[in-house]
């Protein structure tokens, strides 16, 4: 999971903050914290309250972008892409007092935000129906299944068994996953980026000013 997330973040960092921006939701506070000071990052959330606030802010941004699209007569927003990166869904939904609101807000974002160039990348090491219920899962048009404990966990991610079969000739113990898109699954080779390369790009971007985006305007 870390390999996938770091690979996505690394690729995105080759774009300027004017093109790509992040809302990082990191309930464990261990995976995404090194990206928190990037000029691309417009919000970093760790506590349950912060994570819920970040989702609500993303929804507010989406609504404002739709208002802008309506005024301009556009079918798709013409500004930067915003990626909401959630490191661990299970931790996000762990507190009963925020679970329902967090899940409902995330569901709303998934349903409408794509045209506003607001996208969600959500990860979990616990792919049960409690963590990724069908009402949430069906709104992710692309999914990547890595090694799972059971065939049911595999079905919860990509709709079929297979991720639990490690090692096997099709899906090796590491470096591969099943990528589901367009209703089909294919074996996908993961890109592993060395930590030094990631830190090099982070150091480069930290020397640049933060994006001029009024998140709460």
Q: What are the contacts of 44-53 at 24+ separation with CB within 8 A?
A: 48/92, 48/94, 48/95, 48/97, 48/98, 49/98, 51/25, 51/27, 51/92, 51/98, 51/102, 52/98, 52/101, 52/102, 52/105
Most confident of 42-46, 177-181, 208-212: 42-46
- pLDDT reported for residue 192: 83
pLDDT of residue 68: 94
pLDDT level of residue 187 (50, 70, 90 thresholds): confident
Q: Does residue 189 surpass a pLDDT of 90?
A: no
Tens digit of pLDDT for each residue in 86-145? 999 998 888 777 888 999 999 999 999 999 999 999 999 999 998 999 889 989 989 999
What are the tens digits of pLDDT across the range 205-217? 988 766 555 454 3
Q: What is the mean pLDDT of residues 9-31?
A: 93
pLDDT of residue 216: 44
């Amino acid at each position: 999971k870390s390999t996938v997330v770091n690979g996505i973040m690394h690729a995105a960092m080759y774009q300027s903050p004017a093109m790509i921006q992040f809302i990082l939701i990191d309930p464990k506070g261990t995976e995404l914290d090194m990206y928190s000071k990037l000029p691309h990052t417009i919000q970093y959330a760790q506590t349950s309250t912060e994570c819920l606030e970040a989702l609500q802010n993303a929804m507010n941004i989406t609504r404002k972008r739709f208002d802008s699209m309506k005024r301009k007569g556009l079918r798709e927003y013409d500004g930067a892409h915003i990626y909401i990166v959630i490191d661990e869904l299970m931790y996000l939904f762990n507190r009963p007092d925020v679970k329902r609101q967090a899940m409902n807000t995330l569901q709303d974002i998934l349903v409408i935000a794509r045209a506003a160039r607001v996208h969600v990348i959500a990860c979990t090491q616990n792919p049960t129906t409690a963590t990724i219920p069908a009402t949430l899962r069906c709104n992710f048009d692309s999914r990547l299944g890595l090694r799972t404990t059971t065939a049911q966990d595999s079905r919860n991610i990509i709709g079929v068994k297979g991720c639990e079969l490690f090692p096997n000739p099709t899906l090796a113990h590491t470096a591969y996953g099943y990528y589901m898109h367009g209703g089909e699954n294919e074996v996908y080779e993961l890109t592993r980026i060395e930590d030094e390369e990631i830190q090099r790009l982070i150091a480069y971007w930290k020397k640049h000013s933060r994006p001029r985006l009024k998140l709460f305007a």
